[in-house]
Amino acid sequence: MDILSSLMDGFATALTPMNLLYALIGVLLGTAVGVLPGIGPAMTVALLLPVAMVLEPTSAFIMFAGIYYGGMYGGSTTSILLNTPGESSSVITAIEGNRMAKAGRAAQALATAAIGSFVAGTIGTALLVVFTPIVVDFAVSLGSPSYFAIMVLALLAVTAVLGASRLRGFASLGLGLAIGLVGIDSVTGQRRLTFGQPLLADGLDIVVIAVAIFAVGEALWVAAHLRRTPLQIIPVGRPWMGKQDWKRSWKPWLRGTAFGFPFGALPAGGAEIPTFLSYVTEKRLSKHPEEFGKGAIEGVAGPEAANNAAAAGTLTPMLALGLPTNATAAVMLAAFTQFGIQPGPLLFENEGPLVWALIASLFIGNTLLLLVNLPLAPVWAKLLRLPRPYLYAGILFFATLGAYSVNLQAFDLVILLVVGALGFMMRRFGLPVLPLILGVILGPRIEGQLRKTLQLSAGDVSGLWSEPIAVGVYIIVALVLVWPLLFKAWRRARPARVAVVGPVNGGPIADSSAARPTAESPTADSPTTAGPAARDGQVRDGQENADAPKATHANHGQEKS
Amino acid sequence: MSIVVGYVPTAEGAAALDRAITEAQRSQSRLVIINSSRGDALVDKRYVQAEDLTAVTERLEKEGVEHLVLQPVRGHDAANEVLDAAEKYGADLIVIGLRKRTPVGKLIMGSTAQQILLEASCPVLAVKAGG
């Protein structure tokens, strides 16, 4: 009852004309960046961080939530009409979606994607409402040792499980943690990594880092790979669905939701793995398996539902524990810090109205997205005709303006350029960006928890495993780290069977480690050019689809921000 | 002997191609078809895709015209690509399609046709759609 009344209060806040306007702005921006490959919600939220500082925190987060959900919607449009995924989470959608479009069923593909996203987003948000308070109740009882252990798990899981190469993941994490260390140590007052530079004493501003990594790094990367053969959008009218399409879509929507939400909530889940699992499941359960590879509507409905449900799932640990599991959530968490709001289990208690307004705005945003996307999908696709130099020039301009406006210090521009160049080099050498940004954002907090733990135990290291939950989490950490080795050994012992069983039953960990050999090479190339081409070839070869999309998913999963 | 034609999949482009084929047949010369894009947008509807291109080449083969189809994506303007090709292949004639444009539109967008007309070193034949 308490939850319901809080939620209703949230709706009251979110439905004020001003907040509704911000939700609309967020939704429109989100769809736009979702449609455009290479620009994601994480970059957009990062660019808007400085602007949002002048808004009410509630309005700002309503806008961010709209961008986040909108990105998930918009990605499918590009996937279907262009065979280039607009977002990493819609890579799978492109497989069947584009086939459908080529077969003249683009309208149905767009409709099932939009309605499926709406259904999954709404159910996912409802699950968020139900589960988050439970997680909070549990989390409030956690002490520093357990909290430290959980954060270690989050960092390691994202680093080791997602992405093509563990070494690159850990390199990126190390960079992030190092950036997070810069500044004056809060306990002893010592200067760390400041190189005698007084301007570094306050540490590096998270906004500047996020803008540099996501916006400047990406813009430089695209500028280095600007020319590519233009594609053509498949012409389409207003999206609609026939009775048969509804009948074939509703079950995949629900199953996709069931896959998406838990994976989104897991530290290393993300939105890519559940879309893939949903695709494989639909392929096995479908009454029309022969249509897969030629444009089966189930193959669009399931994954699209899964990625939106995952988006909702991601918000559960973010709001309940202050633990981001993907790049957008990480940047949103940075926004909390900028507003002086302490993320973590006490968020609901201290900032109840804000959080509930945010959750209510998710329901509203979802409905707005359906209204904006269903009739207007072909119009959104026109954005793809924008010459990219204009686009990225604009992004760089906003990035610079934003970074300068945070502290009004020219020195921040130097940091912006240096870290932006770092972001470019990371993309060049295939280092995933997500571990870095998590390292920057979680690093100082994880350090705080570690300090607290050790202070409580008077410097005794055994204090780290003084709580049973912490011990349990460390066991999971060990499993995450050791699992790929075991899996490799097992595969060597029984090479033939794993090829069949691995991708389907393996779960997230086995999944990505199986993908590693294939994903290694495309990582170094441009994600946008290598992705669709590689997948196209593999699918057409009549290869087992299970293997083909996974390679690209791992590739896109880490490159796209 | 060769004729260079700037082709885009529009009514004007089709008219230019039609006329260029006629000219090539009459003078027994090679037809160089230029369809270029700057390649900086993800989608460019003036860039001919594979299926349409096959249709064009099939037609040229049926008409018995010696031809060469080029689709340069180098970040240059279409006008420069056509002029480049005219020089490289020693064109005797350039065929282009013209469309109606208001003076303001021309001021803002510039004119590919005008640049070709002014800078070409050989005769230029400008064709309008539906003619």
Whether A497 is in a domain gets the answer no
Q: What is the pLDDT of residue A178?
A: 92
CA A61 to chain centre: 16
Residues of chain A positioned with their CB less than 8 A from the CB of B41: 230, 384-388
**Residue B8 dihedral angles phi and psi, to the nearest 5°:** -130, 150
Q: What is the pLDDT of residue A414?
A: 92
A95 and A217 co-located in one domain:
yes
Q: Give residue for tokens 């540099």.
A: A212
| Chain A CA closest to residue B75 | A227
How far apart are alpha carbons A53 and A388 in whole angstroms?
28
A248 and A112 co-located in one domain:
yes
Whether A112 is in a domain gets the answer yes
Please choose, from the candidates A304, A356, A331, the residue with its C-alpha nearest in 3D space to the C-alpha of residue A132: A356
Mean predicted lDDT score pLDDT of chain B:
86
Q: What is the pLDDT of residue A1?
A: 52
Confidence of residue A496 (pLDDT cuts 50, 70, 90): low
Of how many residues is chain B composed?
131
Q: In 10 A of CB A479, how many CB atoms? A: 11
Confidence of residue A155 (pLDDT cuts 50, 70, 90): confident
A545 and A444 co-located in one domain:
no
Cβ contact B3:B37 at 8 Å: no
Q: Do A230 and B42 touch (CB under 8 A)?
A: yes
How far apart are alpha carbons A42 and A32 in whole angstroms?
13
Q: What is the pLDDT of residue A183?
A: 84
| Residue of A92 and B105 predicted with greater confidence | A92
* Minimal C-alpha gap between B71 and chain A (Å): 9
The tokens describing A68, both together, are: 């986040």
Q: What is the pLDDT of residue A20?
A: 92
Chain B contact residues (CB < 8 Å to A): 37-45, 47, 49, 71, 73-75
pLDDT digits (tens, 9 = 90+) for A327-384: 888 899 888 888 888 888 888 888 888 889 999 999 999 999 998 888 888 888 888 8
How far apart are alpha carbons A337 and A86 in whole angstroms?
29
Q: What is the pLDDT of residue A26?
A: 93
A182 and A324 co-located in one domain:
yes
| Boundary-marking domain end, from A456, A486, A519 | A456
Whether A490 is in a domain gets the answer no
Cβ contact B21:B63 at 8 Å: yes
The tokens describing A203, both together, are: 């540490």
- How many domains does chain A contain in total? 2
Whether A334 is in a domain gets the answer yes
**Which residues make beta-bridge pairs with A355?**
none
pTM: 0.79
| Boundary-marking domain end, from A413, A437, A456 | A456
Could you give the dihedral angle defined by the CA atoms of residues A211, A213, A218 and A220, in that order, rounded to the nearest 10 degrees? 100
How far apart are alpha carbons A187 and A485 in whole angstroms?
39
Q: In 10 A of CB B110, how many CB atoms? A: 13
CB under 8 Å, gap of 24 or more: what pairs does A200-205 form?
A: A203/A444, A204/A179, A204/A415, A204/A419, A204/A440, A205/A406, A205/A407, A205/A412, A205/A415
Question: First-to-last CA distance in chain A?
Answer: 39
Compute the average pLDDT of residues B11-20: 89
How far apart are alpha carbons A271 and A263 in whole angstroms?
7
Q: What is the pLDDT of residue A534?
A: 38
Q: In 10 A of CB A253, how many CB atoms? A: 26
A121 and A255 co-located in one domain:
yes
Residues of chain B positioned with their CB less than 8 A from the CB of A231: 42-43, 49
Q: What is the pLDDT of residue A192?
A: 84
pLDDT digits (tens, 9 = 90+) for A407-439: 888 889 999 999 999 999 998 888 888 889 888
Residue A420 touches chain B, beta carbons under 8 Å: no
pLDDT > 90: percent of chain B: 20
Q: Comparing A29-43, A288-302, A518-532, B16-30, which segment has the lowest mean pLDDT?
A: A518-532
Q: What is the pLDDT of residue A537?
A: 37
CB under 8 Å, gap of 24 or more: what pairs does A379-382 form?
A: A380/A31, A380/A32, A380/A35, A380/A74, A380/A77, A381/A35, A381/A77, A381/A78, A381/A81, A381/A82, A381/A233, A381/A236, A381/B43
ipTM greater than cut 0.90: no
Whether A476 is in a domain gets the answer no
Confidence of residue B95 (pLDDT cuts 50, 70, 90): very high
| Residue A172 belongs to domain spanning | 2-226+239-456
Does the pLDDT at position A561 exceed 50?
Answer: no
A122 and A262 co-located in one domain:
yes
Does the pLDDT at position A501 exceed 70?
Answer: no
Q: What is the pLDDT of residue A269?
A: 63
Whether A234 is in a domain gets the answer no
Compute the average pLDDT of residues A458-486: 83
Cβ contact B57:B69 at 8 Å: yes
| Chain A CA closest to residue B74 | A227
Whether A479 is in a domain gets the answer no
**Which residues make beta-bridge pairs with B43?**
A231
Q: What is the pLDDT of residue A22?
A: 93
| Boundary-marking domain end, from A390, A423, A456 | A456
A553 and A446 co-located in one domain:
no
Question: First-to-last CA distance in chain B?
Answer: 26
**Residue B128 dihedral angles phi and psi, to the nearest 5°:** -105, 160
Confidence of residue A495 (pLDDT cuts 50, 70, 90): low
CA A356 to chain centre: 22
Q: What is the pLDDT of residue A218?
A: 87
Does the pLDDT at position A25 exceed 90?
Answer: yes
From the list A37, A82, A227, the residue facing B73 with the nearest CB is: A227
Q: What is the pLDDT of residue A424?
A: 93
Does the pLDDT at position A554 exceed 60?
Answer: no
Q: Do A229 and B45 touch (CB under 8 A)?
A: no
Whether A287 is in a domain gets the answer yes
Mean predicted lDDT score pLDDT of chain A:
80
Does the pLDDT at position A271 exceed 80?
Answer: no
**Residue A140 dihedral angles phi and psi, to the nearest 5°:** -60, -30
Please list, residue by residue across A110-135, b when 16 or more beta carbons sit within 10 angstroms of its beta carbon and e when fewer do: bbbbbbbbbbbbbbbbbbbbebbbeb
pLDDT digits (tens, 9 = 90+) for A177-196: 999 888 888 778 888 887 87
| Chain B CA closest to residue A386 | B41
* Minimal C-alpha gap between A109 and chain B (Å): 20
- Within 8 A by CB and 6+ apart from B87, the residues are B121
A213 and A112 co-located in one domain:
yes
From the list A84, A381, A385, the residue facing B41 with the nearest CB is: A385
Task: Of A86-100, A225-239, A419-433, A538-552, give the range with the top mean pLDDT.
Answer: A419-433
- Within 8 A by CB and 6+ apart from A559, the residues are A88, A427, A430, A432, A433, A523, A527
Q: What is the pLDDT of residue A372?
A: 85
From the list A232, A381, A387, the residue facing B40 with the nearest CB is: A387
Q: Judging by DSSP bridges, how do beta strands A183-184 and A191-192 pair with one another?
A: antiparallel
